[in-house]
Amino acid sequence: MLVNFPRAQKVVQISCGWRHTIAVTDRANVYSWGRGANGQLGHGDNLDRNVPKIIDAFSVDGCSEQHIKSSKYPSSGKPLASLSERYAVVPNET
C-alpha cells in the first residue's frame, strides 16, 4: 500500500515488525504505524495507528525539549543494534 509522508519526505530505511512498521526519512525523522498494543510504536501510549506518526524523541522535526532517560543498568559494552535490527516481542505469542 502506498504510504504518504508529510512534506514529501522520502523513506531511506524501513523495518517491519509483526504488525507494525518503523520508517526513517531523508529529513532524519522517524515514523511508526500499525499495532501499538504493547507500546512498540514509541509514542508513549498503546494506541493502534493506521497512518505514520512521527516519533518526536528520535526525529529532527520532533519536540525540541524532549528528554530520554537512560537505563540505570550497566552497559554490556556491546554497541546498540541499528533500528532495522530491533523488533518488538509480543507477550503470550508463539
Domain assignment present for residue 88? The answer is no
Enclosing domain of residue 15: 6-58
Q: Which residues contact 62 (CB under 8 A, 6 or more apart)?
A: 29, 54, 55, 56
Give the three-class secondary structure for 85. helix
CA-CA distance, 10 to 4, in Å (whole number)?
A: 9
- Give the per-residue pLDDT at 84: 47
Domain assignment present for residue 81? The answer is no
Domain count, the chain: 1
Residue 19: other Cβ atoms inside 10 A: 13
Q: What is the pLDDT of residues 57-70, one digit of tens each?
A: 888 887 654 455 55
Domain assignment present for residue 86? The answer is no
- Give the per-residue pLDDT at 74: 56
Query: pTM above 0.85?
Result: no
